């Protein structure tokens, strides 16, 4: 079985690019920093999103 690799492209504003370049001067890997930031955001927001989905699922009831 072959491993499948996916790539995703992100768009950054000029301000974000400048900030990432400043981090690079401090020997911080840009890609690793972005991955960790996305992971932290998902871990922080996931319980809230799941609770909202459950709440909406309870509101929408199909009579059939």
Please give the model's pTM, rounded to 2 decimal places: 0.61
DSSP code at position 34: H
d(CA 64, CA 51): 25
Q: List the structure tokens of 45.
A: 């927001």
**Which distant-in-sequence residues (6+ apart) come within 8 Å of 33 by Cβ?**
20, 23
pLDDT in tens, the chain (64 residues): 677 777 778 899 999 999 999 999 999 999 899 999 999 999 999 999 999 998 888 887 766 6
Model pLDDT, residue 43: 93
d(CA 21, CA 31): 12
């Amino acid at each position: 079985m072959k491993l499948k690799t996916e790539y995703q492209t992100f768009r950054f504003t000029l301000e974000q690019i400048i900030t990432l370049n400043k981090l690079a001067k401090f020997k911080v890997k840009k890609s690793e920093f972005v991955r960790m930031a996305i992971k932290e955001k998902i871990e922080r927001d996931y319980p809230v999103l799941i609770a909202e989905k459950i709440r909406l699922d309870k509101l929408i009831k199909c009579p059939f």
